[in-house]
Amino acid sequence: MLKTDYIDVARGRIPADLNLTDCRVVDFFRGRIVEGAVVSVYKGYIVGVNDGLSAKSTMSMDGRYLCPGLIDAHVHIESSLLAPAEFSRVITPRGTTAIVADPHEIANVLGHDGINWMLKASEGLPLDVYVMVPSCVPATHFDTAGATLFASDLARFARDERVLGLGELMNYPGLLAGDPRVLDKLSLFWEAGKAIDGHAPGLSGRDLSAYALSGIRSDHEATTPEEAYEKLGKGMWIMARMGSSARDLENLIPAMDSESVRRMMLCTDDRHPNDIVSEGHIDAAVRALVSGGVPAIDALRMACHNPATYYGLRRSGAIAPGYAADLVAFSSLEDFRAELVFKAGAVVAEDGVPTADYERLGGSAVVPPLRDSVNVKWLEEKDFRIPDEGGEARVIESTPGSIITGASFERPTVRDGLCVSDVERDIVKIFVIERHTGSGNIGKGFIRGLGLKRGAVGSTVSHDSHNMIIAGVDDASIFKAARRLNAMKGGYVITDGDEVLAELALPVAGLMSDRPAAEVIEKLASFEEFFRMEGMPGASPLMTLSFMALPVIPALKITDKGLVDVNSFEQVPLFRMP
């Protein structure tokens, strides 16, 4: 409720708390930079800009630019491998003051309890964590998730003020087929007047129109300017993604003209902590856009103003009376670097380092407890054998930097009646092991493009159901990886025979660490060193591997139930008979 003291401060009857002087204010309403501005702050909100107000304290920005705090329009915190408090500690000093998180990953493992955990673990941080309720748990019927959520399970979340709407609706085949379970979820949030996010790679024409008219107003899967333009033309908003594996942002720069930038946002979706620390978060996306020729004010508009507009965050995304004093001060439009970060008018980070006010505002939140989530049936090495059935086998064709895969047929190399990996052709075995119910399901296949020459790489991070996924050259290494992941209660591992070369425990739902970010990044460095020494392609082989089990992204994927042809949306056998 608006209180009269704010009005009195704005009228100059009561001093403001803080005047930020000598600012270059980024004004999105008029598309300009206001030179030599004074921004007045009272109780965490902006009460005046160049209104000649007095204040109890003054801080000069020394000619720095001042823009609203950056907003990540779509992110899975779980993909950072960090609990929310540690995630905040890494991204807030880089200028991000709000995120729109989709706890899709933890919900696929722990269902209702996972969403509640994410809300509780992110409460009271010096980072606004808004939530989009997962729409696809499970993502499809082709794999085994840890939970199933119906509209009735989501109804209570629709009333939560931190819940902004329904998360990315990946099951567009179900929507287009009129699946009542999908339509019930859409109706729930549409009637609540909340946002509904999309996820429809390559969807076009009439099918895209049907998708958009269902109330879905955004998409973060556009990979070409043409796709972005069509979706914009259908009334959708585009989220340009800069993740660790999928980096579509630079490809979309040609679509960022003076009109379309008003309906485009920036997101990271899935980004590892080492990439955030070394390269950046949304700030890195801003730098990439400006370097690619996008005007700085447009890049910043997409980074903070547009997501606030799209999600209805009426107190965020601008520097004007009544808006939250969540701000970033920086010296260069050409090379955006957050020098001072304000949350509710308090400096929470300076030159990339959290301040005492960061801790005061809740920077030391505790990770709530969760039950164990890795429940694998007892395995033996022989479980990872693939008997030769004759003829050619389907091969997943992975490409570094993309979550879209190809599909091919190859005659596998066979020894003693068993199919084996062939590093000369860059074809290795890949398995997905169900880890939620102990069913014993194991999907078996082959993959090319990882560049793995020895040992095995395994993980309990495999989108979206997050079963155990392992790619390996030999059965002994694969078996060791599976046993080690089970013992760690989830995580990442590299093995060579019976030797563990690198590991990172992720005991929080098999997705996140309960340790500080620095420790997680140090462990990840061991993986990066292995990938570098082995000459494996791509910036993030772990992220690439994690998406090989996502049966909503074309063309060929693998789950605990086997191979899925995503284009035809059906399960297919490993072998094509001669």
Q: Which residue has the tokens 């556009």?
A: 222
In terms of Cα–Cα distance, which of 47, 39, 45 is closest to 19? 39
Task: Give CA–CA dist 505/417, Å, rounded.
Answer: 36
Instruction: Report which secondary-structure segment, H or E, holds 2.
Output: none
Model confidence at 357: pLDDT above 80: yes
Could you give the 3-state DSSP secondary structure of residue 223? coil
Contact (CB, 8 A) for 76 and 104 = yes
Strands 575-576 and 96-101: what pairing? unpaired
In tens, the pLDDT along 35-93 reads 999 999 999 999 999 999 999 999 999 999 999 999 999 999 999 999 999 999 999 99
Strands 195-198 and 218-219: what pairing? parallel
pLDDT at 363 (0 to 100): 67
Name the packing angle between helices 84-91 and 112-121 (round to 10°).
50
pLDDT band, very low/low/confident/very high, at 365 (cuts 50, 70, 90): low
In tens, the pLDDT along 88-141 reads 999 999 999 999 999 999 999 999 999 999 999 999 999 999 999 999 999 888
369 exposure class (CB count in 10 Å sphere: 0-12, 13-18, 19+):
exposed
Give the single-character DSSP code of 120: H
pLDDT at 553 (0 to 100): 84
Task: Give CA–CA dist 201/246, Å, rounded.
Answer: 12
In terms of Cα–Cα distance, which of 113, 81, 82, 87 is closest to 372? 113
Section 400-415 average pLDDT = 91
pLDDT at 479 (0 to 100): 97
DSSP string, 325-376: --EEEES-SSS---SEEEETTEEEEETTEE-HHHHHTTTTPPPPP------P
pLDDT at 382 (0 to 100): 95
Q: What are phi and psi of 100, to 5 degrees?
A: -110, 100
Task: Give CA–CA dist 230/203, Å, rounded.
Answer: 10
Work out the percent of the chain whose per-residue pLDDT is above 90. Answer: 88
Q: What are phi and psi of 2, to 5 degrees?
A: -70, 130
CA 188 to chain CA centroid, Å, is 24
DSSP string, 170-187: --HHHHHTT-HHHHHHHH
Would you mind telling me the total number of residues written for the chain in this entry?
Answer: 578
Task: Give CA–CA dist 492/485, Å, rounded.
Answer: 7
Q: What are phi and psi of 326, to 5 degrees?
A: -100, 105
pLDDT at 552 (0 to 100): 81
Task: Give CA–CA dist 368/120, Å, rounded.
Answer: 8
Phi-psi label, residue 519: left if phi above 0, alpha if psi -120 to 50, beta otherwise: alpha
In tens, the pLDDT along 297-314 reads 999 999 999 999 999 999
Provide the mean pLDDT of the chain.
Answer: 95
Model confidence at 393: pLDDT above 70: yes
Task: Give CA–CA dist 517/510, Å, rounded.
Answer: 16
Task: Give CA–CA dist 565/279, Å, rounded.
Answer: 35
Model confidence at 578: pLDDT above 90: no
pLDDT band, very low/low/confident/very high, at 34 (cuts 50, 70, 90): very high
Give the single-character DSSP code of 568: T
pLDDT at 529 (0 to 100): 96
In tens, the pLDDT along 508-556 reads 999 999 999 999 999 999 999 999 999 999 878 998 899 999 988 889 9
Who contacts 327 (Cβ-Cβ below 8 Å, separation ≥6)?
20, 39, 66, 67, 68, 69, 97, 319, 340, 341, 342
In terms of Cα–Cα distance, which of 219, 249, 243, 282 is closest to 79? 243
- Residue 154's alpha-carbon distances to 137, 181, 354, 379, in angstroms, are 11, 12, 35, 36
> Which position has the higher pLDDT, 553 or 231?
231
DSSP string, 366-426: PPPP------PPP--GGGG-EE--SSEEEEEE--TT-S--EEEEEPPEEETTEEE-BGGGT
- Residue 107's alpha-carbon distances to 272, 452, 466, 483, in angstroms, are 19, 31, 10, 24
Going along the chain from its start, the domains and CATH numbers come out as 4-63 (2.30.40.10), 69-310 (3.20.20.140), 381-576 (no CATH)
In tens, the pLDDT along 183-221 reads 999 999 999 999 999 999 899 999 999 999 999 999 999
Work out the percent of the chain whose per-residue pLDDT is above 70. Answer: 99
Who contacts 443 (Cβ-Cβ below 8 Å, separation ≥6)?
431, 432, 433, 558, 559, 560, 561, 562, 563
Report the DSSP beta bridge partners of residue 407.
396
198 exposure class (CB count in 10 Å sphere: 0-12, 13-18, 19+):
buried
Entry pTM: 0.92
pLDDT at 364 (0 to 100): 65
CB count within 10 Å of CB 568 equals 10
pLDDT at 187 (0 to 100): 96
